[in-house]
Structure 1
């Protein structure tokens, strides 16, 4: 889809994304960042830039998951592409270079050839849709940029994204972090079986002012809600979870308390239509990965209605 573009200072989006990621990724993964705050602006949609950063950094973490330690590197700088470097999709000119590196397992040449293919994933069944890097590739090419990948088995991976600088930078480039997001002080039960996602959603909600109870399984969440159903104002749950799917959890929660608002997160919209969701008492379906603004507005919409 064509998005609304405006001048964005990318370093602000990078810093915001890294705050969310640092709160979600285990401490055995070291973060190293070199962010040039004077790197310039790009003409882009801030939501897409946020998606790009989160997908690349999440993939880097997954490449190191299971290791005793690892390093996730992020850098942002201005880069001038000359005629010698302007191969592939790049033309000579001024760009922002966003780099994500990891010290993980690396990739074979055969896998590197396919990483941007839709639905291709090396993750175990149920852990990935294979759409993250395909989405990143689509965003970058839409902005007339390019992606370059360096990797070898056992030697980690480095991905460099080049986005054209905005030729006429606005006097006040979009400061998306300073935009006011609707928050509150209500009590939210958050359910997700993936540690990183659960921590990230909890961090998002707490920064909006909500009091959060985080549960790593649907069965634990049901027991917690059943023990004190009046202590919660809203439930935010994942769809695909072992033991009990999110739609069944929603149905059982509504049997305990029929008026509780429930929001569902899913990466597989075809498995849960709006009609089926309504039958289970689910107020709204939100597609993963959750975006800060969409989450904030969706929760406020349901709590205020």
Structure 2
């Protein structure tokens, strides 16, 4: 859902527009079967994510679920987003289709089989989300993610400064390195990776703890993070509870 909504937001970035999400129960019969040939007839939940952006060219619409295919500028996307969405939907016995009209917008429709019976209630121990008051520099080239994470951290009591380019982060940090207690940076950004940015920040202040966020586990793991001098790494999508716990572990080690 995050991926589809961020893509819709990106499509409407220049012109503005309307993002609509609908959820409804549908009965897959003869009328819908042609749109979802890989599904059996029966009851489904349909989730639709629509935007009023410029639409997708018919020349490329059949390729959008391919791994590494992207129409974004270099550094703006990995091309893995819709491929991952497609994989998640398929692994849950669902199906996804896209409808788009140039100049009018795009709609992604997902069907999941409707669960029969009541869900089992599982007892879960709710742990309190740890809070703090330190100053964090957060770096990510996706403005929507920057705004979301800034609000999330501020609700936990932290003071947050943000940067949407590695160079901006370096400039802010260099002005007053001791002002920051922690830096959290995305891994994949234009101009400079999160690891390269981390190296440059540590040249200015060797003891600054840095957490790297990545959507690809192959890029950073616990061993690699240690070798690079990073305090920790976080897998995307960012979970508020796990991130808050990681932040506290890192800051409390200081």
TM-score normalised by length of structure 2: 0.84
Contact 2:27 2:41 in 1 (8 A): yes
The alpha-carbon distance between structure 1 residues 285 and 256, as it changes in their structure 2 partners (threshold 3 A), is same
Structure with more relative contact order (C-alpha pairs < 8 Å, separation 6 or more): 1
How far did residue 204 of structure 1 move?
A: 2.5
The whole-number CA distance in structure 2 between the counterparts of 1:224 and 1:264 is: 18
Contact 1:267 1:288 in 2 (8 A): yes
The whole-number CA distance in structure 1 between the counterparts of 2:141 and 2:9 is: 17
Q: Which stretches in structure 1 are left out of the alignment for 5+ residues?
A: 1-52
Please, which of 10, 20, 38 is the counterpart of residue 89 of structure 1?
Answer: 38
The alpha-carbon distance between structure 1 residues 180 and 116, as it changes in their structure 2 partners (threshold 3 A), is farther
Could you say which residue in structure 1 is the equivalent of 2:59? 110
The alpha-carbon distance between structure 1 residues 144 and 263, as it changes in their structure 2 partners (threshold 3 A), is same
Which structure 2 residues correspond to residues 238-253 of structure 1 after superposition, within 5 A? 238-242=186-190, 244-253=192-201
The whole-number CA distance in structure 1 between the counterparts of 2:6 and 2:48 is: 13
Please, which of 182, 201, 211 is the counterpart of residue 234 of structure 1?
Answer: 182
Tell me the SS of whatever aligns to 1:300.
helix
* Residue 125 of structure 1 pairs with residue 74 of structure 2: yes
The alpha-carbon distance between structure 1 residues 171 and 180, as it changes in their structure 2 partners (threshold 3 A), is farther
Could you say which residue in structure 2 is the equivalent of 1:8? none
* Residue 164 of structure 1 pairs with residue 113 of structure 2: yes
* Residue 221 of structure 1 pairs with residue 169 of structure 2: yes
Could you say which residue in structure 1 is the equivalent of 2:151? 203
Could you say which residue in structure 2 is the equivalent of 1:34? none
Q: Which stretches in structure 2 are left out of the alignment for 5+ residues?
A: none
How far did residue 83 of structure 1 move?
A: 4.5
Contact 1:229 1:256 in 2 (8 A): yes
Tell me the SS of whatever aligns to 1:169.
coil
Tell me the SS of whatever aligns to 2:201.
helix
Could you say which residue in structure 1 is the equivalent of 2:22? 75
The whole-number CA distance in structure 2 between the counterparts of 1:90 and 1:244 is: 44
How far did residue 160 of structure 1 move?
A: 0.9
Bigger shift: 165-174 or 188-197?
Answer: 165-174
How far did residue 134 of structure 1 move?
A: 0.7
How far did residue 210 of structure 1 move?
A: 2.1
TM-score normalised by length of structure 1: 0.71
* Residue 140 of structure 1 pairs with residue 105 of structure 2: no
The whole-number CA distance in structure 2 between the counterparts of 1:147 and 1:284 is: 35
* TM-align CA RMSD: 2.8
The whole-number CA distance in structure 2 between the counterparts of 1:262 and 1:195 is: 20
The whole-number CA distance in structure 1 between the counterparts of 2:68 and 2:94 is: 22
How far did residue 65 of structure 1 move?
A: 1.8
Contact 1:89 1:144 in 2 (8 A): no
Tell me the SS of whatever aligns to 2:247.
helix
How far did residue 242 of structure 1 move?
A: 4.5
Please, which of 266, 271, 279 is the counterpart of residue 214 of structure 2?
Answer: 266
* Residue 100 of structure 1 pairs with residue 100 of structure 2: no
How far did residue 112 of structure 1 move?
A: 1.6
How far did residue 232 of structure 1 move?
A: 2.4
